[in-house]
Amino acid sequence: MTVYALGDRVETKKPHPCGGKTWEVVRTGADYKIKCLTCGRVVMLTPDELQKRVRRTVSGEGT
């Protein structure tokens, strides 16, 4: 299982309704909070949900 750190930017498999596919990890812990870099929407996901949705890590320190 991949561990994501604060500031990591990830690309999702499906685009957000705003059209953006790049998200930034803004909180870690029991859940992950990620922010859409296109519209600013913040979503909380469990580690399993995040793992399923992420295609790749674009940039960040946790890679």
pLDDT tens digits in sequence order for the chain, 63 residues long: 788 999 999 999 999 999 999 999 999 999 999 999 999 999 999 999 999 999 999 976 554
Asked whether residue 1 is assigned to any structural domain, the reply reads no
The pLDDT assigned to 38 comes to 96
The secondary structure of residue 61, as a DSSP letter, is S
Please tell me the predicted confidence (pLDDT) of residue 63.
45
DSSP 1-46: -----TT-EEEESS--TTS--EEEEEE-SSSEEEEETTT--EEEE-
Q: Is residue 26 part of a domain?
A: yes
Query: Is residue 40 a part of any domain in this protein?
Result: yes
Which pLDDT score, from 0 to 100, does residue 32 have? 96
- If one counts the domains in the chain, the total is 1
pTM: 0.87
